[in-house]
Structure 1
Amino acid sequence: MFFFCGLTFAQTTITGSVKDDSGQPIPGANIIVVGTSTGTVTDFDGNFSLTYSQNPPFSIQASSVGFESSTAEVISNNQVVGMTLNEGTSLDEIVISASRTPESVRESPVTIERFDTKDIRLATSPDFYSSLENLKGVDVNKGSLTFNAVNTRGFATFANTRFVQMVDGMDNSLPGLNFALGNILGLSELDINSVEILPGASSALYGANAFNGILFMTSKDPFKHKGISAYVKTGLTVQDEAGDNQFHDFGFRAAHAFSDKFAAKASFSYLRGTDWFASDDSQYNLGPVGTADTIDPFRSSPAHDGLNIYGDEVSLGVLGLNLNQVAQQLEAGGRLPPGASALVPAVNVARTGYRESDLTDYKAESLKAYFTLHYKPFGDNTEVLWSSKFGTGSSIYQGSNRYAIRDFALQQHKLEFRGDNFFLRGYTTIENAGNSYDMRFTGLNMNRVGATEWFGAYAGAYALGAGQILAGGGNPSDPATQTQIHAGARVFADDLFTPQPGTPEFNALFNKVTNDPDVTTGSKLVDESKMNVVDGNYNFKDLLNNALDLQLGIQYRQYSLNSGGSIFTDYDGSIDYNEYGAYLQGIKKLMDDRLKVTASIRYDKNEFFDASYSPRLSFVYAAGENRDHNFRASFQTGFRNPDTQALFIGFDVSRAILVGAAPDNLDRRLPNTNLTGRDAYFNSYTLNSVQAFAASGGTTPLEAVQGTGITPLIEQEKVTAFDIGYRGKVGFLTVDFNAYYNSYDNFAAQKFVVTPKTGSVSDASGVGDVATGNVQIFNVYTNSSADVSSYGGVIGLSTKIAKDFDFGLNYTYAKLDFDQASDPDFSAGFNTPEHKVKVSLGNSNLFKDFGFNINARWSDEYFWQATIANTMIPSRTVVDAQINYSVPSIKSTFKIGGTNLGGKEYQSAVGSPFIGSQYFVSWTINN
């Protein structure tokens, strides 16, 4: 009994401090017992206390980003240890995601970017997630105050299904839509341990959809990062359209190790503000896919359809009428004097639409909570943990339309068993669209109510106005006079039949439409989809005496789509399907450990497609006497399974109906029509030929989609990727360079097709439908037979100026190689600037406890191509800056900063808001 009690209570306590080579304390440095996972971190003053359940002797190691690690020997209980870390470079930072095993950045077989707690302290944006755009090769498309989309290497959208985001090993994407909703289910900045971004294909280890890149967020371990931390921020968003609006953001984190076996943590953050307004009144006419849509000035015609104006899609043209025909009907019914209809032109007229600001309060809100329980049943080598994450909020999302995300909720729950060489986890993701709605269909269905009466009032007012002009000796056929008469007729009809924002009539109609999920009468989004995942990995290196790092991994994923028929064609019940995969990776060091060879292969199977194999082979060679020059080259293939939208969507977005290509989707009825997916894919004409047919007056022949040689139904997209790079020290500069070339097979995207409503493309009946406008436009998911490739490069330089000033400069080049003429109807959607330059300058200790940081970004113009519209996005220069002051006595840091300090507003994409400036102050307490 005495023997076992001695073992139970044997423990050693070590205290000490960690400083840099200039004597300044290093907060947040990691202290671990060498060979174990037991550890802690230094507090705000660089001090630490560590208790280990073994007697001396043993060693502890201190490490911090940007410094070389240091080791000290512990020989007695209650020993006080002073450790000094010499400044290193970013090449010494440890990353995990590139190979699923710890390695330094210089050893990584692929290019990788890292962002951690030090970067958060120096961030010039109010939230760390937006600050990721300062990393080289990384783009952040800003569509909302709380919803920003991270991307690398082109093909950007706000609904980025080519880029994977993971938090503590859990895929952060929406189960129903397959993309991450920004950081709504991510981490609070207080709980961030590190962020790693792998640009480029990563399918060999992470499976389908890790196609453009992958972002990893890892949270802090409560065994190492204990105590209570908190922050509070406030400030202003400044925009010409929205004015000045205040925002508030606060959060806290609490973690405690109850023993060396059990620990827990909880983190919470909440942000509330006013979103950026979108107010593009321009009309974008559907033109050739490879060109920008033409733009008309606002109210250029009585049938204007503004981009951020909704409800003006309800027009006489849609009803198959013109204004003169309506006047004739009124005259025949005795509601107009005889002959009055002759004064009314045969033109199309649309109802007066509602501006986006009429249909949303632009509330921006985000609430995140994260709870974990950690238990080590057999010591430091094994751990069982349970985690639950909750995210809810309100935002604006832009896809084929603009959507008001209201009370949207996501939750994830995970059970994981892990050790030094393995992990096995299972987790579920559940989403609920809450009170979200489609703003375009809100305006459209509000204006469908009373449409007949409105058009009648308009036609009658026009006829009477034209009669008064004629009676007064004027010419009602004069264009300027017609414009005046149209304006008067619109005011008259609106006064009678268009409820105005803020009135009880408007509010009642708005609430009725936004609570109705039937797209023919309402706009509510319903989505309660789920995703279940099992993921495991085992590393055999210990069994192989570390002669080879050999890993085997498995994954199973099940989707359950449940939108009640409002997004997908699941009106008769949920749609369930699954996919699974496995991978094998080996890492071997040769030539006195100078050459590191990594080889891996992955097998994946989706129930709708053939199995896919994704190999990867990479080499990293450390040259130079001190191994300061690291060269790498890699080859890999990646694949992308069609996402849930590409398979099962059946969604009317007004401009077209989106149609998924799963075999089970072909015979399902599509919304607002009697047609099915089979009609869209197998009985349609190409949009390009229909446009040519109309322009020629019906003399240019129509071309059936099946006649183009393109497989109508979507298949897996594949990429072959080549990557070379260099990391090292060249004189006083740290250099990080990489270049890549991607070649795509079966490049997947969307294209518009035109489908006869009653006729067939196999005979003259289809031509007749096109000639009379009896057609439906679909937007289908398919593959292109054209050659598609992309290539580019990134070079980053960093150094110290005047010893203490950190200076960084990087340049990114990205280019799409795609011949639009070879597939005129295909939209590649590269949506990425060809040239980008980013500069940073900062000093974390300009003088005692005071620091600053400045980030500047320039990007040239680029073509944005999406179903909502196509146009050129102008070049822009954005400067962000912050100053900070630390007060060690209260363990606090105060910060003042601003983004887009030049004040020139810019867009990330057509239809999205112009981003103004944001100013903030913050107070962070780390205990």
Structure 2
Amino acid sequence: MKTILNLIALLLCVVTYGQTTVKGKITDESGLPLPGANIIVVGTTSGTVSDFDGNYTITTEQEPPFSIRVSYTGFQVQTLEVTSNNQTINVTLAEGNELDEVVISASRTPERIFESPVTVERFGLKEIKNTASVDFYDGLENLKGVDINTNSLTFKSINTRGFASFANTRFMQLVDGMDNSAPALNFPLGNLLGMTETDVQSVELLPGAASALYGANAFNGILFMRSKSPFDHQGISGYIKRGITSQEAAGDNDYTDLGLRMAYKFNEKFAVKVNFGYLKGTDWAANNEEDRFNRGLTRADLNYDGINIYGDEVSTNIKDVAEILVDRGLIPSGADALIPSVDVSRTGYQESALTNYNAESIKADWGLYFRPWENDFEIQYVGKIGSGNTIYQGANRYNIRNFFLQQHKLEIRNDDFFVRGYITEDKAGDSYDMVFTGININRAWKDDQTWFGEYVGEYLQQTLGGATSDAAHLAARQTADTGRLIPGTPEFQRTFDRITNDPDLTTGSRFQDNSQIYHADANYNFGDLVDFAEIQVGGSFRTYRLNSFGTIYTDNDGPITYSEVGFYTQLQRSLELSESVELKLTGSVRYDKSELFDGFFSPRLAAGFTINDNHNIRASFQTGFRNPTTQDLYIGLDVGRAILIGGASDNPGRDIRPYELSPSGAAIVGQGNIIFDGNGAYNNSFFASSVTNGFAQSGNPADLEIANSNFVQPEQVSSFELGYRGKLKDVIIDASAYYNSYQDFLANETVIAPFYGDVQLTQTVPGSSTPLAVAAIANGDFQAYQTYTNSDAEVNSYGAAVQVSTKILNGFDLSANYTWARLDFDVAANPDFRTNFNTPEHKVKISFGKTELFKNFGFNTAWRWSDNFFWEASFGDGEVPAYSVLDAQINYRIPSLKTTLKVGATNLLQDEYFTAFGTGFIGSMYYASLTINNL
């Protein structure tokens, strides 16, 4: 106990030295204070930041004379000399430009964005405060080259350079160095476990491949979010936003978003901080009743399957049902001749009947920071938790309800190195599949066999009574639906509650999951020890523990674990070629090894020419790789239309399910029920398109095409990029172009595995020349699978982006950017292969505003236009029309209260749109916010 008390005293004591104190105020050229400016004692790590009024006080052990350096994003750095103790130094900073901003992500070391070897976007404190979007995360959509696909109000997926989906496993998101992807999903749920707005120090976005430094998932890009240190940013700050969301389908609904940050520096050795965020609103309702398969069907059609109607996925050919009824003596012999050979689907439920569209997010994080020697050496522990409700669209539509995610990190670092380890754990909470909820509510009320039997019986009776076929079908559905559970009734609610709490997808729809990721990484920069170049080395280790209790993965017999390891090094050197020209060379290479695959190297080479300190031309070649995700490897999920089956070599055999054969199939096999596993998808299957589009039309077995998907391997990309950053008088230009070539592209194939017979068609029905596999297809004795595999198809993409920024009309900020993206892929030659490029070819974004229109009053507007494009995903395919959106905000600062008032609106023109097939239309948001003491 005495030892513990001494340790506590050591951590909390304030030690006094002979010190020099400097104070003053930081303002811009118009006299406005600059809160959050950095003041550093040159040659040391001692520093502070200015408060809300621009005031600062810095105390150091240095004795005069010495210098301090003052910097603020968007302003030119100033260095000033301190000549005496208690000196007052007021500083006026001249406005700079975006080229002066410092980034870390491009090379894992601080450097001017102007000199970055690759394209990098930055979203700093100034941009966060002035964004026209409802929050900083949404504001990233206005960066060039960036796509944000809106899954729901609280779940948005960021992507760059194509191949986007809501399950965006090609894009990494790091918060203070931690990958905040959910282990069960392998991608981040937007900002659920991200940051509260008042704690954001900066956001950097690195588009394109960056595996040479950041590993497996740094394939299409990385988002870096850095928080404020409690040593530099102390006090209590917070915000509250209140408003409404407005959508034609859901009406006007309340919206609340609030955040609180508390940070305290006990002394130069110990500091703490706590953040809390809460958001509540109503999600964008999805009520699209068009047919999912673009057949032009409506709810009046027999085999209708609505996009946002669930339960109607279950369909069958009623003539097959009639034949079974004849065999069982339930209808007269020969009556089946009166039944047409058409598919009929069950009646489904609208999505609004299966969810309350409650959008909610609760998150908190805390940190303990210890600097034992009062310098840059720091030990930190950070904890994060997040929980919420949202809508996620993958193979089906899912209500993510009470989903829980937590992270815990221990890190040791200084300016030259870091060593960190963290754990990420998720719990599915009360999440459920809305498609299976609709299917199983129907089945709980009346099983499929009974429903279709009643349908056929009534159709037959109506036909014998002289009714037309259309009238007979209408009467048959009404009869089969008699007594159907109606939303809003106690009977429906009881059934709904039971099914959404049942994890067996044959009777329920609930997800269970408690998976973890264990991660460690380290980096050391030898820049202070080696003169001729800056050399870095580092590495990482990760272990996955998948534990879905058999509801997502094939882990019925216990958790699945596997590990990955990687090592890298980077060398960077600047060469002065002449008085006005400097060449900066960067080379890096990384070696990675998963226990499931062979190891391989990922190199990167980059060169940057700086001319007259106003123009920089850069060129790079880099490679990236993407290990198959946890779902690519070990998923075993029945989504109704098919079973998703992962491509790890040991996975298909783990997916074991019972099946009932057709009467004809039972006669052939000699038994009515079989046990079938997923191996058929990979070693005995046909492409689904050859069955449905070829064989179904011709009846010719020669039209069946063997699939037999390969097991998955890592995907690789080779990326070439050219770029330019520069200043022409008062105009800032940033442009880049890239070309990507992919190898072993990871994607899905839809295949059909017959329950009996070989796909080589060598086995025949006894006493017949008909191939067994053909008979299985004809009898409906097969299982459809969506496999995870690599394609040998040639996949390339290329694009360009350019941004122009300037000031006009005496200080108004004007910025415009254009992005072009194109897929180079032969669709006709690869009809069964889906790239899911899902990216508009053209995008335009323009912002216009002024931080000081008049004293303490500013505004900003942002307009963006997106071209139409075709969306491909496992849930469905369809056109996404072109759309344009206008966001705007006005703000007023009250310096005496350290408060900013903001009033804003998103989608001000009220033109509802959607960014992906199957989601709800995005309406408008109107809000007012109050932010206090945000340094």
Pair 1:646-2:632 in alignment = yes
**Contact 2:297–2:304 at 8 Å: present in 1 too?**
no
Partner Cα distance (2:610, 2:305) in 1: 60
Alignment-mate amino acid for residue 621 of structure 1 = F
Pair 1:477-2:475 in alignment = no
Alignment-mate amino acid for residue 668 of structure 1 = R
Task: Indicate the residue corresponding to 1:506 in structure 2.
Answer: 492
Alignment-mate amino acid for residue 829 of structure 1 = N
Alignment-mate amino acid for residue 292 of structure 2 = Y
CA 232–558 in structure 1, closer or farther in 2 if over 3 Å, else same: same
Partner Cα distance (1:887, 1:9) in 2: 38
Task: Indicate the residue corresponding to 2:666 in structure 1.
Answer: none
Task: Indicate the residue corresponding to 2:589 in structure 1.
Answer: 601
CA displacement, residues 735-759 of structure 1 (integer Å, 9 cap, x when unaligned): 0000000011111111111111222
Q: Where do 1:805-844 residues align within 5 Å?
A: 805-844=812-851
Task: Indicate the residue corresponding to 2:8 in structure 1.
Answer: none
Correspondence for 2:609 among 607, 618, 621: 621
Partner Cα distance (2:538, 2:121) in 1: 24
CA 256–634 in structure 1, closer or farther in 2 if over 3 Å, else same: same
SS in 2 for 1:793: strand
SS in 1 for 2:217: coil
Pair 1:98-2:106 in alignment = yes
SS in 2 for 1:825: coil
Q: Where do 1:710-789 residues align within 5 Å?
A: 712-762=710-760, 763=762, 764-789=771-796
Pair 1:308-2:308 in alignment = yes
CA 340–777 in structure 1, closer or farther in 2 if over 3 Å, else same: closer
Partner Cα distance (1:676, 1:37) in 2: 61
Q: Where do 1:414-433 residues align within 5 Å?
A: 414-433=409-428
Pair 1:268-2:255 in alignment = no
Correspondence for 1:434 among 429, 438, 459: 429
Alignment-mate amino acid for residue 589 of structure 1 = S
Task: Indicate the residue corresponding to 2:296 in structure 1.
Answer: 296
Task: Indicate the residue corresponding to 2:649 in structure 1.
Answer: 663
Task: Indicate the residue corresponding to 2:768 in structure 1.
Answer: none
Partner Cα distance (2:299, 2:306) in 1: 9
Alignment-mate amino acid for residue 720 of structure 1 = S
Partner Cα distance (1:7, 1:831) in 2: 59
Compute the TM-score of the two structures, normalised by the length of structure 1.
0.93
Task: Indicate the residue corresponding to 2:28 in structure 1.
Answer: 20
**Contact 1:325–1:346 at 8 Å: present in 2 too?**
no
Partner Cα distance (1:684, 1:316) in 2: 22
Partner Cα distance (1:566, 1:53) in 2: 61
Task: Indicate the residue corresponding to 1:473 in structure 2.
Answer: none
**Contact 1:327–1:460 at 8 Å: present in 2 too?**
no
Partner Cα distance (2:804, 2:515) in 1: 45
Alignment-mate amino acid for residue 477 of structure 1 = T
Task: Indicate the residue corresponding to 1:611 in structure 2.
Answer: 599
Task: Indicate the residue corresponding to 1:681 in structure 2.
Answer: 682
Task: Indicate the residue corresponding to 2:525 in structure 1.
Answer: 539
Partner Cα distance (1:692, 1:446) in 2: 35
Task: Indicate the residue corresponding to 1:494 in structure 2.
Answer: 481
CA displacement, residues 55-114 of structure 1 (integer Å, 9 cap, x when unaligned): 433322221111111122223332221011111110110000100000000010000000
**Contact 2:239–2:260 at 8 Å: present in 1 too?**
yes
CA 488–6 in structure 1, closer or farther in 2 if over 3 Å, else same: closer
SS in 2 for 1:598: strand
Pair 1:556-2:553 in alignment = no
Partner Cα distance (1:347, 1:793) in 2: 50
Partner Cα distance (1:339, 1:572) in 2: 49
SS in 2 for 1:157: coil
Task: Indicate the residue corresponding to 1:800 in structure 2.
Answer: 807
**Contact 1:850–1:883 at 8 Å: present in 2 too?**
yes
**Contact 2:319–2:336 at 8 Å: present in 1 too?**
no
* Offset at residue 229 of structure 1 (A): 0.5
Partner Cα distance (1:354, 1:445) in 2: 11
Q: Where do 1:261-410 residues align within 5 Å?
A: 261-285=269-293, 294-317=294-317, 322=320, 324=322, 333=330, 345=340, 347-410=342-405
Q: Percent identity?
A: 53
SS in 1 for 2:344: coil
SS in 2 for 1:210: coil
Correspondence for 1:85 among 80, 93, 104: 93
Partner Cα distance (2:290, 2:14) in 1: 79
Q: Where does the alignment leave 5 or more consecutive residues of structure 2 unmatched?
A: 1-12, 660-674, 763-770
SS in 2 for 1:719: strand
CA displacement, residues 156-190 of structure 1 (integer Å, 9 cap, x when unaligned): 00010000000000011111221111110100011
Partner Cα distance (1:53, 1:855) in 2: 47
Partner Cα distance (2:390, 2:265) in 1: 36
Partner Cα distance (2:523, 2:894) in 1: 44
CA displacement, residues 307-361 of structure 1 (integer Å, 9 cap, x when unaligned): 21111123343xx75565588689x558x9x999887655433221111111111
Alignment-mate amino acid for residue 586 of structure 2 = T
* Offset at residue 467 of structure 1 (A): 6.0
**Contact 2:172–2:221 at 8 Å: present in 1 too?**
yes
SS in 2 for 1:205: helix
Partner Cα distance (1:645, 1:846) in 2: 51
**Contact 2:238–2:932 at 8 Å: present in 1 too?**
yes
Partner Cα distance (2:330, 2:474) in 1: 25
Partner Cα distance (2:847, 2:14) in 1: 55
CA RMSD of aligned residues (A): 2.1
Compute the TM-score of the two structures, normalised by the length of structure 2.
0.92
CA displacement, residues 98-148 of structure 1 (integer Å, 9 cap, x when unaligned): 000000000100000001221111111212111111000000000100000
SS in 2 for 1:295: coil
Alignment-mate amino acid for residue 595 of structure 1 = L
Pair 1:518-2:520 in alignment = no
SS in 2 for 1:277: coil
Partner Cα distance (2:545, 2:325) in 1: 52
CA 156–7 in structure 1, closer or farther in 2 if over 3 Å, else same: closer
CA displacement, residues 707-734 of structure 1 (integer Å, 9 cap, x when unaligned): xxxx711111111110110000123210
Partner Cα distance (1:750, 1:234) in 2: 43
CA 341–650 in structure 1, closer or farther in 2 if over 3 Å, else same: closer
SS in 1 for 2:568: strand
CA 841–62 in structure 1, closer or farther in 2 if over 3 Å, else same: same
Task: Indicate the residue corresponding to 2:250 in structure 1.
Answer: 242
Alignment-mate amino acid for residue 730 of structure 1 = L
SS in 1 for 2:727: strand
Partner Cα distance (1:7, 1:191) in 2: 28
Pair 1:567-2:569 in alignment = no
Report which stretch shifted further, 30-39 or 771-780: 30-39
**Contact 1:324–1:347 at 8 Å: present in 2 too?**
no
Q: Where does the alignment leave 5 or more consecutive residues of structure 1 unmatched?
A: 286-293, 471-475
Task: Indicate the residue corresponding to 1:193 in structure 2.
Answer: 201
Correspondence for 2:17 among 2, 5, 9: 9
Partner Cα distance (1:733, 1:35) in 2: 34
Partner Cα distance (2:695, 2:571) in 1: 58
SS in 2 for 1:283: coil
* Offset at residue 881 of structure 1 (A): 0.7
Partner Cα distance (1:361, 1:209) in 2: 34
Partner Cα distance (2:451, 2:778) in 1: 29
* Offset at residue 655 of structure 1 (A): 1.4
**Contact 1:602–1:614 at 8 Å: present in 2 too?**
yes
Report which stretch shifted further, 459-468 or 528-537: 459-468
Partner Cα distance (1:356, 1:313) in 2: 13
SS in 2 for 1:573: coil
**Contact 1:668–1:677 at 8 Å: present in 2 too?**
yes
Partner Cα distance (1:238, 1:295) in 2: 31
Partner Cα distance (1:820, 1:495) in 2: 46
CA 119–142 in structure 1, closer or farther in 2 if over 3 Å, else same: same
Partner Cα distance (2:451, 2:609) in 1: 74
Alignment-mate amino acid for residue 816 of structure 2 = L
**Contact 2:28–2:94 at 8 Å: present in 1 too?**
yes
CA displacement, residues 273-314 of structure 1 (integer Å, 9 cap, x when unaligned): 1100111212223xxxxxxxx332322422311121111123
